[in-house]
Copies of this chain bind each other. A is one copy, B any other.
Amino acid sequence: MATGRTHRPATRSRGIPEATVARLPLYLRALTALSERSVPTVSSEELAAAAGVNSAKLRKDFSYLGSYGTRGVGYDVEYLVYQISRELGLTQDWPVVIVGIGNLGAALANYGGFASRGFRVAALIDADPAMAGKPVAGIPVQHTDDLEKIIDENGVSIGVIATPAGAAQPVCDRLVAAGVTSILNFAPTVLSVPDGVDVRKVDLSIELQILAFHEQRKAGEEAEAQAGATAPAERENNGKGPDGDVPAVMPA
């Protein structure tokens, strides 16, 4: 998914699996909480529980970063916090712009989790002239016209798109043209970007739909269990044919 690029050929492996990268922030959060409670060391078992994964996975994940633990003891909390932060690139400052300051954009601007992790909201951008100058989360909203200038002056390489679906691709194109190489997209659209640009998508309704799928399956299992005995081999219809039950057409 839009992510990988050329492998690191020379030097050492440095190939941290994508699945591991996705869990590092989780570990980091758990470790930060321990750090605040001044806990000096944790075992893989304890930390795994706090992060909601199993300990074998956690140890394997950490093994990709290096040998940061001590056998018979566990991991030094502060040291691990530092190593993971560095690995994730959080020891540097990442200026971020948020484009589209509606409900969601405002929520993102106010979200504390960004600032505390090295992300700095450098600017808020919206297409509505009425918004211009209005402060959101203490930051004045700027107009889309100045997008390129803003990106350039702040050295922004990460952009967040929280516009309506229709505006997302044009905004994306402008961000990329202005030099942004990583995009977090909240608009319900597939963005197309040139090679070398990473896109991650967060889609609220997709998550709900996945839940609905499992929810439905639970209900089905109950019914099945009640009915006793062998379930009726799944709606037979399946043989194909635009017949079957039910006409067609979606809600909308």
The stretch that binds B, out of A10-18, A124-132, A143-151, A170-178, is A10-18
**Judging by beta carbons under 8 Å apart, are A78 and B158 in contact?**
no
**Judging by beta carbons under 8 Å apart, are B94 and A234 in contact?**
no
Question: CB of A96 within 8 A of chain B?
Answer: yes
- Tell me how many chains of this kind the complex includes: 2
Closest to A137 in B: B103
**Interface residues, chain A, with chain B CB atoms under 8 Å away:** 2-3, 5-6, 8, 10-12, 14, 21-22, 24-26, 28-30, 32-33, 35-36, 50-52, 66-68, 76, 78-79, 81-83, 85-92, 94, 96, 102-104, 106-108, 110-114, 116-119, 157-158, 160, 181-184, 188, 190, 192, 196, 198, 200, 202-218, 221, 224, 230-231, 233-235, 238, 240-242, 244-252
Besides A79-B242, A184-B211, 19 new A-B residue pairs in contact (Cβ under 8 A), listed by A number: A2-B52, A5-B218, A11-B230, A12-B233, A26-B190, A67-B238, A87-B213, A88-B209, A89-B215, A91-B245, A102-B110, A103-B111, A104-B104, A111-B251, A116-B249, A117-B247, A200-B210, A200-B211, A202-B202
